[in-house]
Structure 1
Amino acid sequence: MTRAKKTRASHKKSKTGCHTCKIRRVKCDEQKPACQKCLSTSRTCDGYEDSREWVVVAPPSSILVLDGFEDDQGRRYFDFFRSQSSFEFSRFFDSGIWGKLVLQAAYSSPAVRHAVIALASSHKEFKYRSMLTQWEMAHSSKECAYGAQQYGKAVRHLKQLSEKGQQGHAIALICGLLFIPFEVLRGNNIAALYHLEGCVKILNETRSAIGLQGRPPTQASSAASENDVEQELLPIFARLDLEASLYMGLRSPNLYLDYPEISESDYPSPVFLSVLDASNCLNSIMNRMHKFTRSTGDHFRYRSVGDVPIGVVSEQHTLLSQLSKWQCAFDGFLSHYQTPLHHVAQEEKQINLLQIHHDVSTTTLACTLHAEELAYDAFNPMFAQIVSLAKILHNTSSAEPKPHKQQQQEKSPPATFSLETGIILPLYWTAIKCRDGRIRRQAVALLRTCQQEGVWIGEIQAEIAKRVIEIEEGELFDCATPQRVFKTSQDIPEWVRIHSVGMTLDETRREAKIACLQRLNGPDGEWDEREELVFW
C-alpha cells in the first residue's frame, strides 16, 4: 500500500513584508512600524524596503535651444562656408575677412547669417555642378530656391538696419561683400556690380565724414569699432573696384583711395613693413592709374589722332614714376624681410601676385597714350616674367592640400572659384598684347587650366585669346612644341594687330560675341570692327 504524497498548499507570496522576515522565509504580519512576528521572537525588525523604481514623466519642455539657424539645412550650408568657401575665396589675400570677420558677424547678425547661407548654397551648387546627375540637377534647383530665400531674408534684415547709422553701415558692407560672389556664381554680373557700387558709395561717404587719416577722438567707441571694420574691408573692396573697371570696359574705379607716401611725384620711395602694406600701396597706384587710362588715356588712344597735350603726358610720367618707386621699395622690402615659417607659402604667393600686377600695370600705363600696338613689343621680357610667375602661382595652388574636412568628403572636386583677381587677367593681357608666339601660347595653355577668379573664367579667356592670335598671325592656332618655330613680334605688322577686344558672354550657350578693333589702313586710318562668335 502506497502512502499518498503530501502537497503544500499554494499561497500568494507577499512582496511587502519586512526585510527580516524575508531573510527568515516566514510570513510577515506587516504591522508597522515593526512587525509582531519579529517582536514576539525578540528579533530586531529591519523595517520595510520599497524596491519599486519610480519613473517621473514630465511634459516636453517648451524651451528650444536657439543657435540662430532656422533649420538643419541652414546649419549644413553654414558649415560648408566655414570649412570650404572661406578657404577658396581667400586664395591670396583676405583670409582674415572670410575666415574670421564674416563668421563672427554671422553669429551676431541675422542679416549676415542669412547672406552666408545664401552664398554657401550658390557656391556648393557651382562647385559640384559638373558632377551632378540628371536627378541631382533637379534636386539642385530646390537648393537654388533655398539660397534665394535666404538672400531675400538677408535683404529684409538689412532694411531694418537702414536707420541705425554707422552700425548699419558695417553690416551692410559685410552683406554686400557676400552678395557680390552670390550673384557672380549665378552669372548675374550686373547685379554684382550694383552691390559693389552700393558698398563703394558707403565707404566713400564714411571716409569723407571721418577724414582719410583718422577719426575724431570724440566719437563713441561703438562707432569707432564700426569704422575699424570698414577700414579692414577697404582693401578687398579696392581690389573688387579695380576688377569691375577692367571687366566693364569704360568704367573707372569709383573708390577713393589715398596712400600719402606716393601722392606727390617728387616724394621719395615709400618704405614697406609688410606684404599687406605693399599691396595697399599698389592698389592705390592702380586705382589712380585706371582712372587716368579710362578718363584720359583711352581718349587719345582710340578717339583723338594727333599730339598729346603736355599736361597729359606729365600725368602719365608721374604715375609711371610712382610704379617705379613702388618697385624699388618692394625690392628693398624683400631684400631684408624674413617670412614667418607658418606664413611662408601664403606670403610667397602674395609676393608673386603683387609683382605680376605691377608688371601688368606698367605695360598698360606705358602704352596707354600710344596709337600703335608696336609699343608693347618693348615689354616682351616683362610679359615673359608675368607668365613665369603665373606658372609658379598656378602650380603652388594646385599642389595645396585641401581643408581637413574637405579631404574627408567623398567626390569632393578641387577649388573652382576665387573672388580675388589672380592670374587670369594678367595671362589674358599677355596673350593678346605680347606678339611673341611662344610666350603668348604659354599664357593660353595656363589659362585653360585656371579656376574662375571673380568674373574672369580662364576657359573663356583662353578661347578668345586663341582667336585673337589666329587673326593676327593669319594661321590656325597651335600650342607650343619644342619643334615649332613661332612668329615673333617682327612678324606681326601694325595694320593687322588688334587694339582692343570687346566681349559679350552667353554662358548658357557657352559662346562669346567678340568685337575686335583694328586699323587696317594704319594709325591715321579709320577703325575697323570685326565681330565673331567664339565657343568654349
Structure 2
Amino acid sequence: MVNVNSAGRVTTVRRSGQADLSHTIRSVSMSIDGTETERRFFYNCRRATEGGVALHVCNVSSFWSRLAPQLSHHDEAVKHALVALGAAHQLFRLTSHERSDPVIGAGSFLADRLDVFVVHQYNKAIAILCRRLAEQTDQNTTLTLVCCLAFICLESLRSNYCAAIAHLQNGLRVIESSVDIARVSNGSSGTNFRGGGVADTDLRDIVIQFRNIELCIHCFSSEIPMTLGSKFYRLPRCRYSEIAAPRAFTSLKQCHEARIELASVIMSRDWELRHRKGHAQFWSSTEVQEELTYLRQRGLAVDKSIKAFVAGPYAPARGTWDYYSYCMDMLHVTCVRAVVELMPFPGDQHGLISQTPRFQDDFITRMADYGAAMHGVHTSRACEPSSDFLLETAIIGPMYWTYVYAMVPRVRETVLKILQETKHREGPWDASTTLKLLKTKLPQDLGNRETSAEGGAPSLRKWGGESDCYKPLSG
C-alpha cells in the first residue's frame, strides 16, 4: 500500500527524464512499452474498464477509458498498477466463470501463475511509488491517486476488501492534504492544476472517483467516513426552507448524476449527525426539522424527476440496459430516501420507523421491486452484461439493506433469489458471501435487537452500525 507521512501527504521524487504530464499526454493507445505479457494484460485492463467500473450505461467519467491509460504511457508506477489490474481481472474471471477451462488465451497462464504475476506487478508499482517519498510535487500526487484507484480495484477483485479500504483511506488522506477541493469542485477550468500535472477537470474526475467509492464503501463499512462527500457539498442553512422542485430530465445521464448527488448529500449528512442519533431535543429543534424537510423534499423531487423522464418521449425500452440503469437509479434514490427517515434514530430504535406499513410500502417493497426489474434485465439472454468488474454499488448492497429491514416474507424471498443468481462483484460486496450471510440469520433477527437469540451472536448490521456488513460471518 502507498505510504503517507504524518501529515497525510504523499511526497514523491520526480524521476530524471520524467516529463510534465500536461505537455506529454497523447492519444490513448491499447498497448504500452513492456514485455509481451505486460502488454497483454494492459490490453485486458483497457477492455475491462472501457465502459467504466459501474454497472450503468452512463459512463459519466472518462477516468478509466482515457486518463488512467494515458498516464500509464508516461509513468512506470501507473503502468504496472494497470497491468496488475488487468491480470487480476483475468484471474477473477478464471475463478468465477471459467473453472472448466483453466487456460487463459495463448499464454496458457494457470491461476497460480496469474496470481504470482499480479503480485509481482503490484509490488513493482508500489516500489516505484515508495522511491518517490522524498519530494512532493503536484504531478506525483496525481500519479499516486491514480495508483490508489487501481489498487482499490485490484484488491476488490481479489476479495481483499480490508486492503481495498486501506488504499481508499490512503487516497483520501492524500486528497485532504494535497488537493484544493474548492478549486477542483467547480470543474469549469481546463488549465493545469497548480501548473504541475493534469488539467483541473481531470483532477476533479479523479477526486470524484474517490468520492463515489467512499460513498459505496461507507454503506458497507463504518471504517470509511463521508469526509470527502461532506467537503464537496455542505447544505447552506439558508436553503433548508427552499422547496426542492422536480426538474425536466432529457437523458439518463442527468438522472444518474442527480441520483449520485442526492446520495452523497444524504449520506454525508447522516454521517455528520451520527453522534446526535437518539437525542430527541436536537432532532425536535426547528432548524433540524427544516433540514430534514429539505432532504425529504429533495429526495422526492429527484424521484419525481426520474419518473417523469421515464413517462416521457426519452423513456428507455423495457428489457434494455437503459431500462436497467433507470431502475438502478430509482433503487438508489429509494434507498437514500429511506435513510432520511431513519436518520434521527440509532440502530436499536430503527424498528420504530422501519416496521411501519408506510415505510415497508414506500421504501422496502419498492426497493425489492426495482431490484427484481434490474435482475430481469441482467439475466435476459437478449442483454449481455456490460461488465463483471465493478467498483460502484449496483444491486448487491441495496438488496442487503432491503433484506435487513424487510418484514414481508415475499420481499426476503425476492432478495435471496436475486443474490443467488448474481455472479458479479461490486466493490466489497460479493453476492455469494452476502447470500451466505443472510441465510445464516433467522427472520426474527430482523427486529430491533443488535444480537440474535443464539448465544449473543452478532445480528445483521443495520444502517449506521459499527464494523462492516460481513462481520457476523467472522463471529
Instruction: Give the alignment's TM-score, normalised by structure 1.
Output: 0.65
**Given the superposition, is the C-alpha separation of residues 207 and 345 from structure 1 closer, same or farther in structure 2, using an over 3 Å criterion?**
farther
Q: Deviations over 1:384-415 (max 9, x none)?
A: 22222222222323346659xxxxxxxxxx96
Q: Is the 8 A contact 1:259 1:284 kept in 2?
A: no
1:440 to 412, 416, 423: 412
Per the TM alignment, residue 146 of structure 1 is displaced from its structure 2 partner at its CA by: 1.6
Distance 1:216 1:418 in 2: 29
CA drift of 1:467 comes to 3.6
Contact 1:111/1:158, CA 8 A, preserved across alignment: yes
With the length of structure 2 as denominator, give the TM-score of the two structures.
0.73
| CA drift at 1:139 | 4.2
Shift of residue 113, structure 1, vs aligned partner = 1.6
Note the C-alpha offset of 1:360.
0.6
Q: Aligned with 1:108: secondary structure?
A: coil
Mapped contact 2:371–2:395 kept (Cα < 8 A): yes
User: Aligned with 2:379: secondary structure?
Assistant: helix
Q: Is the 8 A contact 1:499 1:517 kept in 2?
A: no
For structure 1, list consecutive stretches of 5 or more residues without a partner in the other structure.
1-66, 404-413, 473-495, 503-512, 519-530
**Structure 2 CA distance, aligned partners of 1:373 and 1:156?**
50
Counterpart of 1:379 in structure 2 is: 359
User: How far has the Cα of 1:441 moved from its partner?
Assistant: 1.2
Whether 1:318 aligns to 2:294 is: yes
The 3 A distance-change label for structure 1 pair 116 and 437 is same
- 1:185-207 deviations in Å (ceiling 9; x for gaps): 22322221122123334445423
Question: 2-side partners of 1:393 and 1:119: how far apart?
Answer: 28
How far did residue 433 of structure 1 move? 0.3
Could you report, residue by residue, the CA deviation over 1:128-165 in whole angstroms, capped at 9, with x for unpaired residues? 12544899899422322221121122223435666463
* Residue matched to 1:16: none
Please state if 1:425 is matched with 2:401: no
For residue 241 of structure 1, report the CA deviation from its aligned partner: 0.6
Check the 8 A contact 1:298/1:368 in 2, yes or no. Answer: no
In 1, Cα distance between equivalents of 2:92 and 2:246: 42
Q: Distance in 2 between matches of 1:353 and 1:444?
A: 18
Residue matched to 1:106: 72
Between the aligned partners of 1:357 and 1:168, the Cα distance in structure 2 is 35
Equivalent residue for 2:38? 74
User: RMSD of the alignment, in Å?
Assistant: 4.0
Which residue, 96, 113, 123 being the options, matches 1:142? Answer: 113
Please identify, of 319-328 and 290-299, the stretch whose mean Cα deviation from structure 2 is larger: 290-299
Q: Quick one: distance in 2 between partners of 1:463 and 1:157?
A: 40
The correspondence of residues 152-231 of structure 1 with structure 2, limited to 5 A, is: 152-159=123-130, 163=135, 165-204=137-176, 205-208=178-181, 210=183, 212-213=185-186, 225-231=198-204
Structure 2 Cα separation of the partners of residues 373 and 465 of structure 1 = 19
Q: RCO greater where, 1 or 2, for CA within 8 Å and sep 6 or more?
A: 2
What CA distance in whole angstroms lies between the structure 1 residues aligned with 2:215 and 2:367?
19
Question: Which structure is larger by alpha-carbon Rg, 1 or 2?
Answer: 1
Which stretch of structure 1 is more off in the superposition, 104-113 or 212-221?
212-221
Q: Does 1:349 align with 2:324?
A: yes
Contact 2:217 2:427 in 1 (8 A): no
Give the secondary-structure state (helix, strand or coil) at the position aligned to 2:151: helix
Mapped contact 1:386–1:426 kept (Cα < 8 A): yes
After superposition, the Cα gap between the structure-2 partners of 1:212 and 1:145, relative to the gap in structure 1 and judged at 3 Å, is: same
C-alpha distance 534-190 of structure 1, shift in aligned 2 (>3 A): closer
Kept in 2, the 8 Å contact 1:167–1:226? The answer is: no
Q: 1:146 to 1:372 in 2, by over 3 A?
A: closer
Per the alignment, do residues 126 and 321 of structure 1 end up closer, same or farther by CA in structure 2, a change over 3 Å counting?
Answer: same
Do 2:316 and 2:323's aligned partners in 1 also have CA atoms closer than 8 Å?
Answer: no
Give the equivalent residue in structure 2 for 1:123.
89
Q: Is the 8 A contact 1:245 1:251 kept in 2?
A: yes
- The alignment covers a number of residue pairs equal to 411
